[in-house]
């Protein structure tokens, strides 16, 4: 069985369309320990809107005093003593997707909703964005791996409750690196030659994985348009 399997999907009139037959293929392949990829799922113009909005978001929330899962916040995350996994990235955390703070524009919220629906369809879950009436909820996060040293060391997550992880590449690195890799029984599989801007990657959530260094380690370039940028949808607990 090839480790990576491409499936079909498209973006039409603001909607992500992946037919049930393709979802079944992705679900089965990922359950067997592989990864599934939808090429060119989100158009470049939409990716730019998300990246531009994220720049505004970071400037608004990088000094937020609230770091709870249900808040909006942004921060630099590197060599965090609270984490067992070494990393270097900027994280934008969208805990208030439903817009109680009237922050997230409708086009960005639409993309979040479309990707959450797809993640639920592939995993068989029925999660929503933050709700006080449920045990778990989803918080979109944009991870910016900066040039000259952005990375994420090998790690894994519990399989439940999320089951399936998705990664939308918003921007590929201009200087190489920043690709997601997976540790398999046959060695490391690097998705760098496959997973480009606009592509969506799906994987079994407990599959060990990480992100290669963006360029050579040096003085990290934290400017918002450097390096590689990804969008993920982790499940959080309300407790």
Give the tens place of pLDDT for each residue, 184-207: 999 999 999 999 999 999 999 999
Q: Give me the pLDDT at residue 98, please.
A: 76
Superfamily of domain 4-237: q2cbj1_9rhob like domain (2.60.120.620)
Q: 99 pLDDT band (50/70/90 cuts)?
A: low
Portion of the chain with pLDDT greater than 70, in percent: 95
Q: What is the dihedral of CA 120, 124, 130, 135, to 10 degrees?
A: -170
Q: Is the pLDDT of residue 19 over 60?
A: yes
Taking the C-alpha atoms of residue 170 and residue 142, their distance in angstroms, rounded to an integer, is 9
Give the tens place of pLDDT for each residue, 145-185: 999 999 999 999 999 999 999 999 999 988 889 999 999 99
Taking the C-alpha atoms of residue 104 and residue 95, their distance in angstroms, rounded to an integer, is 11
Q: Residues 43-52: contacts with CB within 8 Å, 24+ apart?
A: 43/11, 43/198, 44/197, 44/198, 46/11, 46/107, 46/111, 47/170, 47/171, 47/197, 47/198, 49/107, 49/108, 50/108, 50/111, 50/142, 50/170, 50/231, 51/170, 51/171, 51/224, 51/225, 51/229
Residue 98 or residue 168, greater confidence: 168
Q: Give me the pLDDT at residue 17, please.
A: 97
Write down the domain spans for the chain.
Answer: 4-237
Q: Is the pLDDT of residue 101 over 90?
A: no
Q: 80 pLDDT band (50/70/90 cuts)?
A: low
Q: Is the pLDDT of residue 52 over 80?
A: yes
Residue 209 or residue 220, greater confidence: 209
User: What is the pTM assigned to this prediction?
Assistant: 0.94
Q: Give me the pLDDT at residue 70, please.
A: 81
Q: Give me the pLDDT at residue 133, please.
A: 58
Q: Give me the pLDDT at residue 79, please.
A: 67
The CA-CA-CA angle for residues 148, 153, 159, to 5°, reads 140
Taking the C-alpha atoms of residue 134 and residue 119, their distance in angstroms, rounded to an integer, is 18
Give the tens place of pLDDT for each residue, 208-217: 999 999 987 7
Q: Give me the pLDDT at residue 207, please.
A: 97
Q: 90 pLDDT band (50/70/90 cuts)?
A: very high
CA atoms within 13 A on the CB side of 162: 24
């Amino acid at each position: 069985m090839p480790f990576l399997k491409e499936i079909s999907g498209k973006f039409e009139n603001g909607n992500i369309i992946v037919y049930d037959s393709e979802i079944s293929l992705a679900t089965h392949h990922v359950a067997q320990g592989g990864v599934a990829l939808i090429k060119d799922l989100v158009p470049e113009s939409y990716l730019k809107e998300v990246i531009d909005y994220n720049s505004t978001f970071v400037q608004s929330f990088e000094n937020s005093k609230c770091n709870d899962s249900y808040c909006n916040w942004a921060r630099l995350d590197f060599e965090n003593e609270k984490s067992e996994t070494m990393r270097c990235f900027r994280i934008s955390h969208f805990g208030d997707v439903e817009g109680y703070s009237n922050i997230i524009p409708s086009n960005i919220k639409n993309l979040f909703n479309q990707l959450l629906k797809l993640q639920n369809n592939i995993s068989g879950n029925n999660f929503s964005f933050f709700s006080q009436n449920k045990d778990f909820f989803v918080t979109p996060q944009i991870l910016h791996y900066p040039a000259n040293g952005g990375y994420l060391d090998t790690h894994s997550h519990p399989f439940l409750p999320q089951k399936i992880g998705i990664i939308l590449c918003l921007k590929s690195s201009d200087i190489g690196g920043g690709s997601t890799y997976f540790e398999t029984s046959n060695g490391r599989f690097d998705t760098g030659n496959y997973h480009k801007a606009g592509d969506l990657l799906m994987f079994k959530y407990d599959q060990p994985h990480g992100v290669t260094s963006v360029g050579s380690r040096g003085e990290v370039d934290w400017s918002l348009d450097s390096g590689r940028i990804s969008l993920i949808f982790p499940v959080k607990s309300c407790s």
